[in-house]
């Protein structure tokens, strides 16, 4: 590692390469940046990693800056790092990857300042081969090259073995939820990207999951036609990197890993983490071209190496981003598309307000209204109007979700199945009601029983589907919408009980005030409506903000 001209100065004469004293993990990444201090520049360099006591290079380099190239030494590809021209340089950055079975390592370098002055035999402290704890990695900056006690360069040393928030917005792209969180935090979902020289990216992802964590590259905020990388369990229950393509309606289609080099995978204290280099082109069947994408960050269970539907909407960037940039993406909230929000709002209104009022009016208000409206009993007209609105809202919401998903999803889960059954029974209920037999017909009692039991089944299914839908929209750390829905159901149940008791008391003639201007059941209905609207508005606001 010596040049053949000028004045040669050995490191022992005052030229010393200082690296952070640290541990070395098999397949780990060590990043080193040489930066000229006070605008001092250098023209050339040669850097290698060698096993202690060894004479040949070990590991491989990946470049991160221009004017730098990798060389093959000792028949080992990419085992040395050097310059491509004689232009002045002040900042050179690269990643060194340890190979499996690598023992203790030292870095050795030759640096050329100009034609007459160069330094050889610059040697770093020993990197001890061991396994560090999960959160022992840091980002540090320190002097690494001294020329006769005058600092000429400084060295930024960082480990890329395990995901870390250090460097986000400085030398790598990051996206996380909560924003700016540390991957070592169990509540943090994190991904980062470093663009490599030439082509490709060094990608990391991590999050709390005993199944999988995945990142997706999309042209829009709706799943479908997305390039996906999955960090999850395989059939042998080991963490591995998988490549897939999402259609949005079925389980993602597996793809060959292609030009992917897996650097590390781990499962520690519930956190699943993967680090890898991909030189594959991002394939999204892009409609507008370019290198900007929405980033999806999802997590969920897996079974026998097959990822399952994620129980919650993925975290999505607020806008398209360039993962080659050095930025920290904004967003990270589960941004629900408007069409899905409309679906949820209509279903909620239908089955927790209009449907409930219609059912209560038919059950408890028959004797409260003695007048008629448009030739029919007033209670019946109220019931009829509310149920027509319920079926109409259900039908529109049903169509909206199929438009949003563009068909049926094989991974839709219980929410979609229960919702479809409730919708079908709703239209069946309306159809049979239009062809009900007259009051005097001998078969009228069969209609009454079927109408009542079918309504009860629909109500139970609708409430269950609503709970599941809100659970999909809720934040895992604060599922307040699900809890509010519990209060909503409890309020309706309490109203039905009170109205039932009131009806029983009147039937037994235990209590009834003939002088009352407002009948007790009407008063109970008004009180119920006040509470119902309060719960409804709260949940609609929650859906709007989801």
The confidence score (pLDDT) of residue 120 equals 76
Query: For 171, which DSSP code?
Result: T
Asked if residue 410 has a cis previous peptide bond (ω within 30° of 0), the answer is: no
The confidence score (pLDDT) of residue 267 equals 86
The confidence score (pLDDT) of residue 68 equals 85
Per-residue pLDDT at 197 exceeds 80: no
For residue 329, being part of any structural domain is answered with no
Question: 364 and 265, same structural domain?
Answer: no
Question: 263 and 146, same structural domain?
Answer: no
For residue 18, being part of any structural domain is answered with yes
Q: Give the tens place of pLDDT for each residue, 446-497.
A: 888 888 899 899 999 999 999 988 887 775 556 888 989 999 999 999 999 9
The confidence score (pLDDT) of residue 478 equals 61
Question: 279 and 388, same structural domain?
Answer: no
Per-residue pLDDT at 155 exceeds 50: no
The confidence score (pLDDT) of residue 138 equals 33
The confidence score (pLDDT) of residue 14 equals 32
Q: CA 222 to CA 76: how far, in whole Å?
A: 45
Give the closest residue to 31 by CA, choosing from 173, 196, 152, 175: 196
Give residue 20's domain range.
7-159
- Three-state DSSP class for 322? coil
For residue 15, being part of any structural domain is answered with yes
What pTM did the predictor assign? 0.53
Q: How many domains does the chain have?
A: 3
Count CA atoms within 13 Å of residue 6 on its CB side.
15
Question: 449 and 492, same structural domain?
Answer: yes
Give the closest residue to 528 by CA, choosing from 408, 282, 335, 363: 363
**Rounded to 5°, angle at Cα 374 from 373 and 378:** 25
| Domain containing residue 141: CATH number | 2.60.40.4060
The strand pairing partners of 190, in sequence order, are 176, 206
Lowest mean pLDDT among 70-74, 107-111, 458-462: 107-111
User: How many residues are listed for the chain in this entry?
Assistant: 546
Q: Give the tens place of pLDDT for each residue, 201-257.
A: 889 999 998 889 999 998 887 777 889 999 998 888 888 999 998 876 667 888 898
| DSSP per position, 105-129 | EEEEEEEESSSSEEEEEEEPPPBEE
Question: 487 and 362, same structural domain?
Answer: yes
Token pair recorded at residue 374: 């448009």
For residue 327, being part of any structural domain is answered with no
Compare 17 and 267 and report the one with higher pLDDT. 267
Per-residue pLDDT at 23 exceeds 50: no
Question: 178 and 144, same structural domain?
Answer: no
Question: 33 and 65, same structural domain?
Answer: yes
Lowest mean pLDDT among 33-47, 131-145, 497-511: 131-145
For 181-233, what is the HEC assignment?
CCCCCCCCEEEEEEECCCCCEEEEEEEECCCEEEEEEECCCCCCCEEEEEEEE
């Amino acid at each position: 590692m010596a040049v053949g001209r000028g004045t040669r100065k050995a490191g022992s004469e005052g030229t010393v390469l200082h690296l952070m004293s640290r541990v070395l993990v098999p397949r780990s990444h060590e990043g080193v940046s040489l930066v000229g201090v006070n605008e001092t520049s250098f023209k050339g360099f040669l850097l290698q990693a060698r096993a202690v006591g060894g004479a040949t290079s070990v590991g491989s380099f990946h470049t991160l800056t221009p004017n730098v190239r990798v060389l093959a030494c000792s028949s080992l590809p990419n085992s040395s790092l050097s310059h491509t021209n004689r232009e002045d340089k002040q900042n050179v950055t690269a990643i060194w990857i340890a190979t499996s079975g690598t023992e203790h390592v030292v870095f050795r370098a030759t640096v050329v300042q100009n034609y007459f002055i160069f330094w050889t035999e610059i040697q770093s402290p020993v990197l001890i081969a061991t396994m560090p704890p999960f959160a022992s990695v840091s980002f540090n900056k320190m002097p690494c090259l001294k020329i006769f006690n005058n600092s000429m360069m400084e060295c930024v040393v960082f480990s890329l073995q395990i995901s870390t928030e250090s460097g986000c917005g400085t030398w790598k792209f990051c996206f996380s939820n909560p924003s700016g969180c540390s991957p070592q935090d169990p509540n943090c979902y994190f991904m980062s990207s470093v663009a490599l020289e030439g082509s490709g990216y060094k990608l990391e992802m991590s999050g709390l999951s005993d199944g999988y964590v995945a990142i997706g590259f999309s042209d829009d905020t709706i799943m479908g036609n997305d390039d996906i990388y999955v960090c999850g369990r395989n059939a042998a229950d080991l963490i591995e990197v998988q490549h897939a393509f999402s259609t949005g309606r079925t389980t993602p289609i597996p793809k060959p890993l292609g030009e992917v080099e897996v650097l590390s995978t781990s499962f520690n204290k519930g956190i699943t983490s993967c680090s890898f280099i991909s030189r594959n082109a991002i394939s999204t069947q892009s409609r507008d071209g370019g290198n900007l994408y929405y980033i999806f960050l999802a997590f969920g269970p897996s079974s026998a190496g097959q990822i399952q539907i994620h129980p919650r909407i993925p975290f999505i960037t607020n806008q398209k981003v360039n993962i080659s940039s050095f930025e920290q993406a904004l967003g990270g909230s589960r941004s629900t598309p408007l069409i899905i929000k409309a679906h949820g709002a209509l279903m909620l209104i239908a089955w927790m307000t209009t449907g409930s009022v219609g059912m209560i009016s038919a059950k408890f208000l028959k004797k409260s209204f003695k007048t008629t409206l448009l030739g029919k009993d007033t209670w019946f007209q109220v019931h009829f109007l509310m149920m027509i609105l319920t079926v109409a809202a259900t039908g529109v919401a049903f169509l909206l979700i199929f438009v949003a998903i563009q068909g049926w999803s094989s991974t839709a889960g219980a929410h979609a199945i229960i919702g479809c059954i409730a919708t079908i029974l709703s239209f069946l209920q309306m159809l049979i009601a239009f062809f009900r037999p007259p009051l005097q017909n001998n078969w009228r009692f069969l209609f009454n029983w079927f109408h009542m039991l079918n309504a009860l089944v629909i109500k139970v299914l609708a409430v269950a589907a609503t709970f599941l839908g809100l659970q999909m929209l809720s934040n895992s750390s604060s599922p307040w919408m699900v809890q509010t829905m519990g209060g909503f159901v409890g309020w309706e149940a309490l109203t039905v009980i009170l109205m039932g008791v009131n009806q029983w008391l009147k039937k037994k003639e235990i209590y009834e005030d003939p002088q009352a201007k407002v009948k007790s059941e009407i008063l109970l209905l008004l009180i119920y409506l006040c509470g119902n609207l309060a719960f409804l508005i709260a949940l609609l606001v929650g859906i709007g903000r989801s």
